[in-house]
Structure 1
């Protein structure tokens, strides 16, 4: 038991109060008073003042004992993990000059891998760093353009039609990589070049342009 708990119990007995009666006056449970007097529960200064008022005369030294006991408790220093702080500093520093660019599947819902590229002026390869991506080629229908299944294409999120460029598109609920060529009016030509060159004329509004591809890393 601590000095404070001893003095509270002593003052309560002198006042002729049971633990239950003291608890009722303070608006707490009897078990709480029992734990305080046994030293298992530490009370705050506010409750200490309330106890002093209830027990009255001769109780002022409880507050003094409480302050002495608190001040005598050893101060615990919370250790700072310097290694983590240093790591965070380096991570923040590198994030401004190196970007982990995700490698996606055609649905852009699964990250297959990541590749690091330098960031220059908040851009990667001249493109805003928040837009860039890699795309793993899933089919052989663009091999005539040297874009083969398993290759990794670099590009960026882009929704506008640009003539004779290669895009990741969605058409008839299927995603694919195609070269787009503008025709008359709102018509465009979808070009794929696998075993042979194939084309399909569609209206621009019937396709969804998702990303523009700029170059391919060839898998040997």
Structure 2
């Protein structure tokens, strides 16, 4: 209820009038009077003059309007302050969470198989200062660029989690540099000098014999995220 609404109701009650009776005197409905008193309708200058005439009392009280506007302004300022405080609080909470999560989560880069182009990143938890059991600076993801290994259920577009290696690991799927190319192959050791590089593009298994000295192991693929 507004100040003007309260004043209209007080005068009506004091003069023993119902909302319906006052409405008839003003030439408006009972509902209109009710909405004026409850503040759901704003009393314009014309209706204020008519009410003043009915009660023989000047309702056009400038001080009353000033107080009402002041209250409205103070309420809005208070709401603005609350909103600002709320926003600041949210920012503080987010900053705390960022700091906290920064010590337990790390953005791990997703590379194309050339290991030169970063396409995105993924957050992984740090446990005992390691990620998936490996040193934090030794892990990354690889976005598979072709279907050379689709027979191993490794398809173009899939994302593989990998860790850096410097020695050949037997029977593992590895990212390696061979013949001036960076490729993914399964490695099978033949002896101390030679290995078998195995691929399967869906048309059958293909093998290639290579000397260990000709191969530069880059990473071992540990896990695969399959893109459906």
Residue of structure 1 aligned with 2:126, choices 95, 119, 144: 119
Alignment of 1:82-101 (within 5 A): 90-101=97-108
Residues 1:215 and 2:223 are matched in the alignment: yes
Match of 1:5 in 2: none
What secondary structure does 1:130 align onto?
Answer: helix
Query: What does residue 81 of structure 2 align with?
Result: none
Partners of 1:159 and 1:87 in 2: how far apart?
A: 40
Structure 1, residues 93-125: CA drift from partner, whole Å, max 9, x if none? Answer: 212111111100112111101111111111111
Tell me: CA distance 1:85–1:138, structure 2 relative to 1, closer, same or farther (3 Å): same
SS in 1 for 2:137: coil
Counterparts of 1:164-175 in structure 2, within 5 Å, are 164-175=171-182
Deviations 1:167-208 (A, max 9, x none): 101111111100001012310110001121000111011011
Q: Where in structure 2 are there 5+ consecutive unaligned residues?
A: 1-87
Find the counterpart in structure 2 of residue 141 from structure 1. 148
What TM-score do the two structures reach when normalised by structure 1?
0.59
The aligned residue for residue 9 of structure 1 is: none
State the distance in 2 between where 1:86 and 1:172 align.
53
Can you give the 5+ residue segments of structure 1 that lack an aligned partner in the other structure? Answer: 1-80
SS in 1 for 2:170: coil
Does structure 1 residue 151 correspond to structure 2 residue 158?
yes
The alpha-carbon deviation at position 157 of structure 1 amounts to 1.2
CA distance in 2, matches of 1:152, 1:116: 14
Query: Number of matched residues?
Result: 140
CA deviation string 1:45-83 (max 9, x = no partner): xxxxxxxxxxxxxxxxxxxxxxxxxxxxxxxxxxxx999
TM-score calculated relative to the size of structure 2:
0.57
* Structure with the larger helix share: 2
Q: How much has 1:141 moved relative to structure 2?
A: 0.8
Report how far residue 215 of structure 1 moved. 1.3
1:193 aligns with 2:175: no
CA distance in 2 between partners of 1:184 and 1:103 (Å)? 34
CA–CA separation in structure 1 for the residues paired with 2:211 and 2:89? 60
